[in-house]
Amino acid sequence: MKYNAILLAFLSTSVFAETQDIEYITVTGDFRQATLDQLSSSATVLSTQRLNARQATYLDDILNVAPNVNFASGASRGRFIQIRGIGERSQFAEPINPSVSFLVDDFDFSGLAAAGVLFDTQQVEVFRGPQSTLFGTGALAGAVKIVSNQAGEDQSTHAEVRAGNKDSYRVEAATGSELTSALRYRVAFMHNASDGFVNNTFLNQDDTDNINETAARAALQWDVSDDSVLDISYRWYDIDNGYDAFSLDNTRESLVDEPGFDTQQTHAVSVKLTTDYQYGQLTSLLTHASHNIAYGYDEDWTYTGFHPFGYTSFDAYFREVDTQTAEIRFTSAQRAKLFNDTTDWLVGVHYKGVEEALWREYTYAESDFVSKYLPTTKALYAQTDTQFTNALALTFGLRFENYGFDYADNQGLQREYDTNMVGGKVALQYTPDQHTWYASISRGFKGAGINPAQRVSEEKRFFDEEYNWNYELGVKGPLFVPQATLRAAIFYMQRDNTQVNDFDVITRDDGTPDFIDVIDNADLGTNRGIELEASWLVTDIWQLQGSIGYLDAKFEEYTNARGDFIDEQQQAQAPRWTANLYSRLMISDSWSWQADIDFKDRYRFSDGHDVMSPSATLVNTQLRWENNHWYASAWANNLFDKTYYVRGFGGFSNDPRDGEFGYASPEPYYQLGAGRQYGITVGYQF
């Protein structure tokens, strides 16, 4: 009740601002580039200024700004995203079909969010609610898109160096220009490093949970003719992070003798041709990406000989993932409208093929586990936008998608699957004045899958596809005064065949725990809530921004992996309240002070146990100086060194000291978020 009162007071007394009017915030993730107020859905766009205010280096640094968005770590980074309570929390041997689409420019990196490092970024877009017309099976809950600075005619150059505690540093540089009047380029580079906050007392090392990330991109834009533009882009990632995050005592003091790792190497290339015709624009897009991924951890969280009852185990997963996409879309021109010049339209086809090979090395396995997973999606989609009057418009989108996969492993399991799924959206938009009101019904879908663990019973081996219906009402526009704006949405989502990520624990003969991951279907899930984002230019020198999310997410009628019937339960990773407050004060022409405060309510870590993450409030701040082309800032994130958690487990004991014979009582175990970070950033841009 205390936090509810705080948030209600926060809502009633505070209004916030953006540096630019809502009408001029361009969203790239829609079929047609649109302004934020033209979207008939709930979305957040985070500008470069907001990213810089938090010294953001990765997606999990900024996701708390968006209402009803959460993430789980279970790795070196928080790369598992949940929107409105829906999303994955981890991946081990099982192949996953993501609930949240993750895109970087034209690349579909869904399920591969280790590539969520931020550099040369124009903005980050977060779309809440099913986006099936746009993205298909990967967007049951929504989508996140990183938009880079493009190789266009008007480009900037910048270079930046950052240094902070924990031996952290970061360098970034980007530039672009014209090679000829018809050919432009852009290149960018980033390296990010930190020792992390874990101190391994057994190995006497303070960098076993370190960050070591390098990324680069190169882009060319060529005016092939007066009507055609060719864009070619290449991206490279080299992620080589440590993973030493858990301890028996839930501290940052590690005792492992085999620190884990979390790595990814990616090469990705895209080719896009855009051609204007009399009746519209034809866009053709091809992408290819190859990823080598390795993830491993010390399962016993200690060293050999730690305790007479202790065990020694290491678990490692190596994946090779190749992804190809192809898309052709025709978007009508203004002069090619249908139905008496009132309807814009578009139609497109999409293909995505993935080949995922897994090699697992596990101490307790008799032999290494090998599997191959080949999911394929083929889709046809269309959308119309009809303007009935100057104030009233209707959007209708539909997507037909064929989804299937082939799966085989060296334990003798083989499975083929193929189905057709349909999703889409109908939205009515009314703009009588400066306010835009909308009402929408959208249907999302997510493909079926398989549980590969050998000990999973045959009846639990396969789980069905999931559908949801999302009903939403929203408004965008000025709030009381022209200097204040509001975006508000209320939604009700019904999930059918809700995919629930669970696990079972089997005790081995030596008393140690053995985990089995199981995904199954609950009959029904209900996710409902409210999202508010507001802004206020209080004075010429002071601006405020903020957001509040309320979420009630639960599923019903489900039998968990241990055979217990669950009549109703709150969904995991779904905090009831989320909030953010951002303030920027211009002290002088050159100096500004910025503060960013996040609040996240308590929430369940998993559907399979009752361990909760406590509520947490984090404060980030920076003092920034700018003069012509130079800028510098002194900053601190998690200013008050708040202890908070980014992953949690329960329902078992991993402690050989527990009880007369060890491993006696279930205990909660937490992965701690970063402690206080502070440093200096210096940059040059022109």
Does the pLDDT at position 397 exceed 70? yes
What pLDDT digit, counting tens, does each position of 193-229 carry?
999 999 999 999 999 999 999 999 999 999 999 999 9
Nearest C-alpha neighbor of 609 from the set 583, 580, 648: 648
Does the pLDDT at position 81 exceed 60? yes
| DSSP, res 260 | E
Question: For 83-97, what is the mean pLDDT?
Answer: 91
What pLDDT digit, counting tens, does each position of 39-59 carry?
899 999 999 999 999 999 999
Rounded to whole angstroms, how far apart are CA atoms 317 and 353?
Answer: 22
Rounded to whole angstroms, how far apart are CA atoms 81 and 573?
Answer: 9
Does the pLDDT at position 535 exceed 50? yes
Does the pLDDT at position 188 exceed 90? yes
pLDDT band at residue 109 under the 50/70/90 scheme:
very high
Spell out the residues 6+ positions from residue 249 whose beta carbon is closer than 8 angstroms to its own: none
> What separation, in Å, do the N-terminal and C-terminal C-alpha atoms of the chain show?
50
Higher pLDDT, 607 or 544: 544
Region at 68 (left for phi over 0; alpha for psi -120 to 50; beta for the rest): left
Question: For 265-277, what is the mean pLDDT?
Answer: 97
Which range among 344-348, 546-550, 562-566 shows the weakest confidence by mean pLDDT? 562-566
For the chain, what percent of residues have pLDDT higher than 90?
78
Dmax over CA atoms of the chain, in Å, equals 82
The per-residue pLDDT for 24 is: 63
Does the pLDDT at position 14 exceed 90? no
Higher pLDDT, 341 or 597: 597
Contact at 8 Å (CB) between 136 and 79?
no
Taking CA atoms, 28 is separated from 60, 118, 206, 221, 610, in Å, by: 21, 17, 42, 17, 40
| Mean pLDDT of all residues belonging to the chain | 92
What pLDDT digit, counting tens, does each position of 627-655 carry?
999 999 999 999 999 999 999 999 889 99
Nearest C-alpha neighbor of 41 from the set 158, 191, 174, 142: 142
Collapsed DSSP state (helix, strand, coil) of residue 52: helix
The per-residue pLDDT for 8 is: 37
Model confidence, pTM = 0.94
What pLDDT digit, counting tens, does each position of 253-266 carry?
999 999 999 999 99
**Residue 111 tokens, joined:** 């399920």
Nearest C-alpha neighbor of 98 from the set 128, 138, 39: 138
The per-residue pLDDT for 672 is: 97
Rounded to whole angstroms, how far apart are CA atoms 257 and 535?
Answer: 50
Phi, psi (rounded to 5 degrees) for 52 = -65, -35
Identity at 225, one-letter amino acid code: S
The per-residue pLDDT for 114 is: 86
The per-residue pLDDT for 268 is: 98
Does the pLDDT at position 274 exceed 50? yes
Does the pLDDT at position 237 exceed 60? yes
